[in-house]
Structure 1
């Protein structure tokens, strides 16, 4: 169907494709986080073969029987964070400046295929015995590749969404939120079963391969849809019209200046007049969206600063010896955060308040800093300096709900509004810049999380 403003999005097909692509951007990394138990078990002493058989801690109540962690096991999370955040930031930065030189199709499709190959290799390695050190090195290389291609994919995807109406950034953010929920549910299923560790890990990675294949197929289908084709071609047409109009204005201006003398205008030092550049300046675009860029950076700095470094260390005070003690963090921290974060992201599909030019938005973003002391004053254990003020589990759950829904909603608003504060032909560059500041916020939050935890 075609309306006065172009064809409609039949059956919400374009919306669903962007949702699947958003899911594909974060699902790989979330699956690596979910399988941390598998990776750390593979890094144990080779003689402790029994530690690789079943998920530890699920059927045993005697934690003292577990062997002490090796150096690689103890430092795995630190190295994993380092190998994830640095490539994410570096490649997002490169994507902001180089996206105009590499075709969009190569960036998105190439990244998806590369991520698929990494997961196929990861699934195959589940069945191949390796010594801890080679396995550790291979795993770190895979984490670097996942986050490098993920950064390129994310920046390109937000830039692509900038060509469409403002509501089409929301499904990307919503899909990313659903990736975390899926991973949290997988973690809970693993806790509630006594399945073999290798079988569980193999299922994780095969599932990720299926989702990435679905994302590849969705992206291939996207240019065939009238709604997407209309908006993408409309952008290019407007860009060419804009350039021709600017060139015409320049020529008219020069003719008017030459009219009094009736001769061709000469220029000192044989310097020709400046012609508008075909490629918009990254810095000039940033000046238009700096509020949105810094806002999304601050949102994720606060979020990653305490989640999960602080929030995952909170201990229940009401469980006693019940099963709630085992499920408290997987449910209250990971599952609830991802569900309400996803709900916050999804709210932008029906509500875009406050507006893109309102100062209420940066004020609300800045107000989220209050969550840092609130979580610090929960029952985080062990602790050395700060007292516990919010003892009951209910306080922690309330904070998690408000924390996660505000993260999803405000981040989605910023990512939606950023590309809409610039000219149409600058939208893709603006989307890439926004993705860079999102990644910068993740990196800053990861660094500050060490400080926040030490202060407690």
Structure 2
């Protein structure tokens, strides 16, 4: 048992590592014999266990983000009622995470040629596992509730930044390895990212419902804290599952041949300048899609979760299962179900699939309407009756917010890096286009988090 655990946590061996110039995208110009060999090994390379492993790794990429935003309502209860930080804590946490993720993802991409994907995945998972365990115990149940507001806020932000570091390097490594493996594995990563959001929010909702059984419990009491502890304990187990999935891929018979694949490289005279020139060229070609994917997440993060976590049920008196400690987790679950359906199923419907960048940009800009729609719901504090004085209407808006987030975001990512769907992009520009789209997505998350402060001030009047 201990031998297996050491193997799981051990640094990737020299045999499994790849030199700086070795792990590059598969060559487009392979000869006929290479194609025949790949056809013969197709069943092994793309077997269900491989797909499941990448699904789990994709889930791990967004595990910390989804667990973090689901824990924000608990963090808020640790502050005194008159704390000035309390009303904007969701914006502070999401901004710290997204800007940290953007910064460290940039560092990871700059060093992408110096470190193998497996090494980045391994060390980022270990960092994520240690952080999740510390949050599970002793941070959430013992340390945070006892800290003064002056120490509580920086401690929460520090934990948030550490989570953003692990996520940035994990994201960089997982997408690099999946790109080398194949398009099916990239889709598995994307599906896993949506799936983990549903799973985390479902766990949070179940724990919140269990916590409400104690009618004497006050908001932020022991049961709510234990619900947060349970959420991060589940995250720790999920991170262990990611380590197992990564180990399975490294032990796969095709791992070495996949990671040692080479392709056409940049000229050796001045590769950095060539890469910068190619990046600018691809960005100009895909400028509409880059703006579209960024705007999708600017709109979403400006209201979800900083504003949506202030919305409570319109029912008076409020039933036990619609109290804020259940109502807020329920809205997380509805959004994530919508997002998962939007990114997984909507792009496969021919009537909804479009490759036109202007049309995709128009759809992205239309999502701006969700901001005033959220304003019309039962945000708190409020002195007047909301225009949408119905929980059902609010839940419908949340589901549509999630559906369009997943649907339009996936359209942008799919079309941006596919020469078959996007005639502006050449085959050898595929990787650069995909990387740029991912970077613009993260940029949208960061800008949206910062914009939530402005939106929150508008809500307060």
Normalised-by-shorter TM-score class: 0.7 to 0.9
State the 1:416 CA deviation: 2.9
CA distance in structure 2 between the aligned counterparts of 1:3 and 1:101, rounded to whole angstroms:
27
State the 1:185 CA deviation: 2.3
The CA deviation string for residues 219-248 of structure 1, in whole angstroms up to 9 with x for no partner, is 2322444677666555x2x426xx7xx99x
State the 1:91 CA deviation: 1.6
Change (3 A) 1:349 1:155: farther
Change (3 A) 1:291 1:383: same
Trace 1:126-275 onto structure 2 (pairs within 5 A): 126=139, 129=143, 131-132=147-148, 133-134=150-151, 136-192=153-209, 193=211, 194=214, 196=223, 199-225=226-252, 236=262, 238-239=263-264
State the 1:43 CA deviation: 5.4
Aligned partners of 1:24 and 1:215 also within 8 Å: yes
CA distance in structure 2 between the aligned counterparts of 1:277 and 1:446, rounded to whole angstroms:
32
CA distance in structure 2 between the aligned counterparts of 1:160 and 1:360, rounded to whole angstroms:
32
Partner of 1:169, secondary structure, is helix
Give the gaps of 5 or more residues in structure 2: 1-35, 215-221, 420-424
What does residue 409 of structure 2 align with? 411
Partner of 1:172, secondary structure, is helix
Aligned partners of 2:54 and 2:189 also within 8 Å: yes
Aligned partners of 1:178 and 1:342 also within 8 Å: yes
The CA deviation string for residues 90-113 of structure 1, in whole angstroms up to 9 with x for no partner, is 122333433233332232222111
CA distance in structure 2 between the aligned counterparts of 1:178 and 1:6, rounded to whole angstroms:
29
CA distance in structure 1 between the aligned counterparts of 2:329 and 2:76, rounded to whole angstroms:
22
Between the two proteins, the alignment pairs up a number of residues equal to 400
Counterpart among 100, 105, 115 of residue 128 in structure 2: 115
What does residue 42 of structure 2 align with? 7
CA distance in structure 1 between the aligned counterparts of 2:37 and 2:123, rounded to whole angstroms:
33
What does residue 61 of structure 1 align with? none
Give the gaps of 5 or more residues in structure 1: 45-67, 248-273
What does residue 398 of structure 2 align with? 400
Partner of 1:183, secondary structure, is helix
Instruction: Say which is worse superposed, 277-286 or 336-345, in terms of deviation.
Output: 277-286
What does residue 310 of structure 1 align with? 307
What does residue 420 of structure 1 align with? 418
State the 1:202 CA deviation: 3.5
Counterpart among 277, 287, 290 of residue 287 in structure 2: 290
Partner of 2:292, secondary structure, is helix
Counterpart among 268, 280, 303 of residue 275 in structure 2: 280
What does residue 34 of structure 1 align with? 70
Aligned partners of 2:312 and 2:328 also within 8 Å: no
Change (3 A) 1:5 1:391: farther
CA distance in structure 2 between the aligned counterparts of 1:155 and 1:172, rounded to whole angstroms:
12
What does residue 322 of structure 1 align with? 319
Change (3 A) 1:157 1:430: farther
Change (3 A) 1:317 1:225: same
Query: Which structure has the greater CA radius of gyration?
Result: 1
Aligned partners of 2:90 and 2:305 also within 8 Å: no
Q: Where in structure 1 do 4 or more consecutive aligned residues deviate above 6 Å?
A: 227-230, 274-279
The CA deviation string for residues 112-143 of structure 1, in whole angstroms up to 9 with x for no partner, is 11111222232332465564355544332221
The alignment's TM-score, normalised by the length of structure 1, stands at 0.75
What does residue 432 of structure 1 align with? 435
CA distance in structure 1 between the aligned counterparts of 2:71 and 2:254, rounded to whole angstroms:
39
Instruction: Say which is worse superposed, 211-220 or 189-198, in terms of deviation.
Output: 189-198
State the 1:341 CA deviation: 0.9
Aligned partners of 1:344 and 1:404 also within 8 Å: yes
Root mean square deviation, CA, Å: 3.5
State the 1:7 CA deviation: 0.9
What does residue 453 of structure 1 align with? 456
The CA deviation string for residues 167-215 of structure 1, in whole angstroms up to 9 with x for no partner, is 4433323222223223322332333224645544433322211111111
Aligned partners of 1:181 and 1:335 also within 8 Å: yes
The CA deviation string for residues 325-382 of structure 1, in whole angstroms up to 9 with x for no partner, is 3167336521110111112122268457535455432222222222222222233343
What does residue 371 of structure 1 align with? 370
Change (3 A) 1:159 1:367: farther
